[in-house]
Amino acid sequence: MNTQLHIAIIQSNLVWENPIQNRLNFMQKIEGLDNTVDLIILPEMFTSGFTMSPQVVAEAMDGDTIQWMLALANRKGAAIVGSLVIKEHNNYYNRLVFVHPNGVVDSYDKRHTFTLAGEDKVYTKGEAQLIVNYKGFKIKPLVCYDLRFPVWSRLSDNYDVLLYVANWPTKRILAWDTLLQARAIENMSYCIGVNRVGLDANKYQYPGHSQAYNALGDKLTRLKPNTEDIALVTLSKSHVETTRNKLRFLDDKDLFSLK
């Protein structure tokens, strides 16, 4: 079992509703990473920006972007994760895909569609949680607005890493910063948040603030705000295990069931 996981956080601008150009831009960034990286994390809707016109950019699970991710993950020997617009059974989903270098694809449909922007009107919400087992780490991936709902994020499967991909705007960035750290502390896990930068077609500004926290809530990254940037972070399995075994806070957590 691996005891370390080397991740690359890619904080990037996105070209509005242009999957081809976004793939090219991310290709350039990913090709520049060395072969020690195990996991590459892209933002929410990384092929399009946070569009409410899914019919313009929607793809199938065997479409161009998934094929691109499969080929790139295989070539780099690293998993790639991010969300994009998927059409399936005549429904549109804001779907996170976790593509393993061996060709396995795990997926999670965003549970909490963002009602303030009308996402709930055009995208079908997900019903199931996902735990990804990768290189000895258990990773729980979630999408943007999910961050505001601690019950959905709560530790139930002894995961090691909480992972959020997002398009989180500048005007509410204090909530992003605060809740990422809180999720790390309350679940005693690593918490990673990857947010885009730049201005979208709706004139919303995104500042980045992509971050990684350890199980004590200590910040591990210093990405430049409002700037395309990449952070390399090493996660330690023993850090999570040692912290939980020493402090035992999770022994006192409340039990509940989701409905």
In whole angstroms, give the CA distance from residue 179 to residue 167: 15
Token duo for residue 236:
């330690």
Residue 26 dihedral angles phi and psi, to the nearest 5°: -70, -35
Task: Identify whether the C-beta of residue 54 lies closer than 8 Å to the C-beta of residue 85.
Answer: yes
pLDDT band at 56 (very low <50, low <70, confident <90, very high): very high
Q: Is pLDDT above 90 for 3?
A: yes
pLDDT in tens, 202-251: 999 999 999 999 999 999 999 999 999 999 999 999 999 999 999 999 99
Local confidence band at 111 (pLDDT 50, 70, 90 cut-offs): very high
pLDDT at 71: 98
Q: The tokens of 163 are what?
A: 């992972």
* Domain 4-248 fold: Nitrilase/N-carbamoyl-D-aminoacid amidohydrolase (3.60.110)
Mean pLDDT of 97-116: 98
Residue with tokens 């075994």: 245
Q: Which pLDDT value is given to residue 2?
A: 79
Q: Looking at the chain, list the stretches that DSSP marks H as alpha helix, in order from N- to C-terminal side.
A: 19-31, 54-57, 64-76, 119-122, 150-153, 173-187, 237-247
* Residue 137 C-beta-side C-alpha neighbours within 13 Å: 27
Catalytic residue ranges? 44, 110, 144
DSSP 171-190: GGHHHHHHHHHHHHHHHTSE
Domain ranges of the chain: 4-248
The per-residue pLDDT for range 112-171, each reduced to its tens digit, is 999 999 999 999 999 999 999 999 999 999 999 999 999 999 998 899 999 999 999 999
